[in-house]
A and B are shown apart, each in its own frame.
Chain A
Amino acid sequence: MNVIEINNLTKYYGKERGIIDVSLNVEEKEIFGFIGPNGAGKTTTLRTLLALIYPTSGSATIFGMDCIKYGTEIKKEIGYLPSEVFYYDKMKVIDLLKYSASFYKKDCSKRIKELTEIMDLDLHKRIDDLSFGNKKKVGIVQGLLHGPKLIILDEPTSGLDPLMQQKFFELLQEENKKGATILFSSHILGEVQRLCNRVAIIKEGKIIQLEKISALQENNYKKIKVQTTANLDQDYFNIEGVSNLEEKQNIISFLFRGNINSIMKKISDIEIANVWIEEPDLEEIFLHYYEKGV
């Protein structure tokens, strides 16, 4: 069953492009990643789903109901974490969470307690005294306290330290096991790869690729930089799967796609001073899709 169905959704802000003809489905109990660079239309898509803004054309359903027409009904079962968290400054954390809970017709106090313990959050501080990361934590608790069936997250990890990110991901996976469907947007490929079953890649308002994460991993690019001790001909690395080969002052850099062992052997055969193996950023991945002519 599809929890979210988006059909040819288009949104223009006046003449400015938001999203164009976006169609995708999110299945029940799936963790779906929505990735793209800033300004690609991720947030626009999510906000339209939540009826914060209205589509220019096209439609979307959540739980089989039109997301605009039945917005109020649908939102009972949605938890949302915006990319930037803003709350009523003069409120204390606990007051805000209680206010948030008051919109759902169930007792959330136990869950608030559990979540704030996991997130290590001080309930009696005022919101405007909190750091960006701590505000984000309030957002997480606020988004999950009513046990939603669909969790929508917009760039959830920005501002969280790695330890908190880890806890947060565990929390999400736990919710997912309990039956929650999760849709989240990100511009960091790593976290999408870690968490998601499927991803949609969006660029300049259009979906350019929709695939299973396993398929994306086959296209697993590594960005490799090698600092050599002696002068080495850069062609040494010119094997299959290597692209964007460059050399600058004894540092050879390239993108590699393929069996990681073959390149590791190549590196171990020479004398090196340093090596960096990194996830390529999204732009570099996109380059790959553009090369394919999408």
Chain B
Amino acid sequence: MNVFMREIKANRKVLIIWSIGMILLIASGMGKYAGLSASGQAINDFLAQMPESLKAIMGMGTFDLTKATGYYGVLFIYLAMMATIHATMLGANIISKEERDKTAEFLFIKPISRNKIITSKLLASLVNILIFNLVTFVSSILMVQKYSKGEAVIGDITKLMIGMLILQLIFLSIGTAIAAKSKHPKTAPSLATGILLFTFILSIAIDLNSRIEILKYFTPFKYFDAKNLMYAQGFEPIYVILSGVIIAILFRVTYIFYISRDLKV
């Protein structure tokens, strides 16, 4: 419990800064929609003429941009990107920082097992990403509703936020697993963020080139695609199961590697 509280306190400031960033991103993103919607159907006609590749890079796909939720669907990939960067860094840092800051010689000579320390740290991370998700959820609803002209928004946003939460969990576990395995605690966060960027770019590449569609299983960003969640089949069982398996394995890996590692102090 003490380690958990310690981590909550230590991460409080960072969480507040990220939350403010998220609120600003949503507010400014939806603010742009206000200008866009004034042009009416013209925007969809314009987009129809845009090359597919450009639309893919911008993440626009087939969204109906005359609707607030459609516009939000485009924005979602950026929100997910931000939330996953936060989760990755959080996971990598929370595990590696005791060695990085050389506080390992303080914490690990206390009568508490490494198992319990990791559990406390993971729980604290979980609380952090949940709060971050909730902040995103609430500010999304408020902002989208402001422009939706009575259109129902909560259903779509809820689906997207559940998808984002699973993404956060996946990348949190990638961060912790890398930190637990990494020989050099300082490089863990950058390595983990590198993986994140790679999977993100891969997801765009798949949009651009349908021949590599088979690679979609390697990028979690494809698991919870906004278009699919909102317009098509919703959550696909294969991806939900795959996510669950990835998260379970990586958390297990975190425990196994961290418990057997020689702490560098």
A interface residues (Cβ-Cβ under 8 A, vs B): 13, 47, 50-54, 71-76, 78, 80, 82, 84, 86-90, 99-100, 102-104, 142
Q: Which listed residue (A13, A54, A82) contacts B105, Cβ 8 A?
A: A82
B113, CB-defined interface residue at 8 Å: yes
Q: Which listed residue (B2, B101, B260) contacts A99, Cβ 8 A?
A: B2
CB distance from A100 to the nearest CB of B (A): 7
CB distance from B153 to the nearest CB of A (A): 40
B110, A103: Cβ atoms closer than 8 Å: yes
Q: Which listed residue (A82, A99, A100) contacts B265, Cβ 8 A?
A: A82
Q: Which listed residue (B10, B109, B263) contacts A80, Cβ 8 A?
A: B109
A52, B113: Cβ atoms closer than 8 Å: no
CB distance from B219 to the nearest CB of A (A): 35
Q: What's the Cα separation between A100 and B111 when bound, in Å?
A: 10
Considering residues B102, B104, B110, B260, which has the most beta carbons from chain A within 10 angstroms of its beta carbon? B110
Interface of chain B residues 103 through 121 with chain A (CB within 8 A): 103-106, 108-113
B111, A86: Cβ atoms closer than 8 Å: no
B111, A75: Cβ atoms closer than 8 Å: yes
A71, B103: Cβ atoms closer than 8 Å: no
Q: Which listed residue (A74, A86, A99) contacts B102, Cβ 8 A?
A: A86
CB distance from A43 to the nearest CB of B (A): 9
User: Which chain A residues lie closer than 8 Å to B260 at the CB level?
Assistant: 54
User: Which chain B residues lie closer than 8 Å to A51 at the CB level?
Assistant: 108
B110, A75: Cβ atoms closer than 8 Å: yes
A84, B262: Cβ atoms closer than 8 Å: no
Task: Using CB atoms, name the residue of chain B closest to A104.
Answer: B111
B105, A52: Cβ atoms closer than 8 Å: yes
Known contacts A47-B265, A53-B263, A86-B101, A103 near B106 by CB under 8 Å: no
B109, A84: Cβ atoms closer than 8 Å: no
B113, A72: Cβ atoms closer than 8 Å: yes
User: Which chain B residues lie closer than 8 Å to A74 at the CB level?
Assistant: 111
B111, A52: Cβ atoms closer than 8 Å: no
Q: Which listed residue (B110, B111, B112, B262) contacts A13, Cβ 8 A?
A: B262
User: Which chain A residues lie closer than 8 Å to B252 at the CB level?
Assistant: none
B6, CB-defined interface residue at 8 Å: yes
Q: What's the Cα separation between A86 and B98 when bound, in Å?
A: 10
CB 8 Å contact bits of B86-130 with A (1 = contact, 0 = none): 000000000000000111111011111100000000000000000
CB distance from A81 to the nearest CB of B (A): 9
User: Which chain A residues lie closer than 8 Å to B265 at the CB level?
Assistant: 47, 52, 82
Q: What's the Cα separation between A88 and B10 when bound, in Å?
A: 9
Task: Using CB atoms, name the residue of chain A closest to B116.
Answer: A72
User: Which chain A residues lie closer than 8 Å to B102 at the CB level?
Assistant: 84, 86
Task: Using CB atoms, name the residue of chain B closest to A54.
Answer: B262
B106, A142: Cβ atoms closer than 8 Å: yes
Known contacts A53-B262, A54-B262, A78 near B109 by CB under 8 Å: yes
Q: What's the Cα separation between A84 and B262 when bound, in Å?
A: 18
A52, B103: Cβ atoms closer than 8 Å: no
Q: What's the Cα separation between A71 and B115 when bound, in Å?
A: 12
B106, A100: Cβ atoms closer than 8 Å: yes
Q: What's the Cα separation between A114 and B6 when bound, in Å?
A: 25
Task: Using CB atoms, name the residue of chain A closest to B262.
Answer: A53
Q: What's the Cα separation between A82 and B101 when bound, in Å?
A: 14
Task: Using CB atoms, name the residue of chain B closest to A83.
Answer: B105
Task: Using CB atoms, name the residue of chain B closest to A11.
Answer: B262
Known contacts A99-B2, A103-B2, A104-B111, A52 near B106 by CB under 8 Å: no
CB distance from A45 to the nearest CB of B (A): 14
Known contacts A47-B265, A99-B2, A52 near B104 by CB under 8 Å: yes
User: Which chain A residues lie closer than 8 Å to B263 at the CB level?
Assistant: 47, 52-53
User: Which chain A residues lie closer than 8 Å to B106 at the CB level?
Assistant: 82, 86-87, 100, 142
Q: List 7 A-B contacts (CB under 8 A).
A: A52-B262, A52-B265, A71-B113, A75-B112, A76-B111, A80-B105, A89-B101
CB distance from B224 to the nearest CB of A (A): 36
